[in-house]
A and B are shown apart, each in its own frame.
Chain A
Amino acid sequence: GENVEQHPSTLSVQEGDSAVIKCTYSDSASNYFPWYKQELGKRPQLIIDIRSNVGEKKDQRIAVTLNKTAKHFSLHITETQPEDSAVYFCAAILTSGTYKYIFGTGTRLKVLA
């Protein structure tokens, strides 16, 4: 079945620096890759997503890149701010059956002021 690996598990950056989180997936048929941000005790919130027909997508300080050949995708946050501190999860859509998400293990991002 699908497997999604996410690295690093924790990441500390200075305010204003960039942060990069990487995920790899195993199912070459996966075609949708969302990223979620979860603050402590709250719901995961979709921050950006990418579909398999594009290689990069950007929304202000957040960007996602996808390499289908290598089966990996990355989240890039530029000009980090303290409010970016949270846990970030990547996911890949398992395209067989009920299209359920397979989540990565999460990255705890700390932005130091």
Chain B
Amino acid sequence: GAVVSQHPSRVICKSGTSVKIECRSLDFQATTMFWYRQFPKQSLMLMATSNEGSKATYEQGVEKDKFLINHASLTLSTLTVTSAHPEDSSFYICSASEGSYSNQPQHFGDGTRLSIL
């Protein structure tokens, strides 16, 4: 089955640090990947849609300069949390679909737990 790898799984760093999270589709090509944020005991909140070779599409209320997304290849998308602060602490998860049609399942990475001190 389709596998999505996300790295790192856990980050603890000081306030002001920039953190990069990688999302890879291991056995399929993904023209589109999605980045979610999940607070404790809450649902997945879509932050942005990552499009290979073009700019990401951000959801309303998500700062694009704060959460930089790069989708340079068909198997890799990165999310960089710039100058992270304690309020950015959260669980970040990426997902990717195999096809380009609307009715294909998204496969999720293991998530990255980000803790900003």
Q: A42-B111, A43-B108, A44-B108 are in contact. Are A101 and B93 (CB under 8 A)?
A: no
Give the residues from 26 to 81 in chain A that come closer than 8 angstroms, CB to CB, to chain B: 31-32, 34, 36, 41-46, 49, 51
Contact (Cβ within 8 A) B110 A93: no
Contact (Cβ within 8 A) B103 A42: no
Contact (Cβ within 8 A) B103 A43: no
Task: Say yes or no: is B57 at the interface (Cβ < 8 Å to chain A).
Answer: yes
Q: A31-B103, A43-B110, A93-B103 are in contact. Are A98 and B57 (CB under 8 A)?
A: yes
How many A residues, CB 8 Å from partner? Answer: 25
Chain A residues lying within 8 Å of B42, measured Cβ to Cβ, are: 105-106
Task: Say yes or no: is B72 at the interface (Cβ < 8 Å to chain A).
Answer: no
Chain A residues lying within 8 Å of B51, measured Cβ to Cβ, are: 98
Give the residues from 36 to 59 in chain B that come closer than 8 angstroms, CB to CB, to chain A: 41-44, 46, 49, 51, 57
Task: Say yes or no: is A25 at the interface (Cβ < 8 Å to chain B).
Answer: no
Chain B residues lying within 8 Å of A41, measured Cβ to Cβ, are: 91, 111, 113
A95 to B104, CA, bound (A): 12
Q: A43-B93, A89-B43 are in contact. Are A99 and B107 (CB under 8 A)?
A: no
**Interchain pairs with CB closer than 8 A, number:** 57
Chain B residues lying within 8 Å of A51, measured Cβ to Cβ, are: 103
Chain A residues lying within 8 Å of B34, measured Cβ to Cβ, are: 100-101
Give the residues from 5 to 56 in chain B that come closer than 8 angstroms, CB to CB, to chain A: 32, 34, 41-44, 46, 49, 51
Contact (Cβ within 8 A) A103 B113: no
Give the residues from 76 to 99 in chain A that come closer than 8 angstroms, CB to CB, to chain B: 89, 93, 95, 97-99
A101 to B44, CA, bound (A): 10
> Can you name the residue of chain B whose Cβ is closest to the Cβ of A101?
B106
Can you offer 7 A-B residue contacts whose CB atoms are under 8 A?
A31-B102, A36-B108, A41-B113, A42-B110, A43-B109, A44-B108, A104-B43
Q: A41-B91, A42-B111 are in contact. List 13 more A-B contacts (CB 8 A).
A: A31-B102, A32-B104, A36-B108, A41-B113, A43-B93, A43-B108, A44-B44, A44-B108, A45-B108, A46-B107, A89-B43, A95-B102, A100-B49
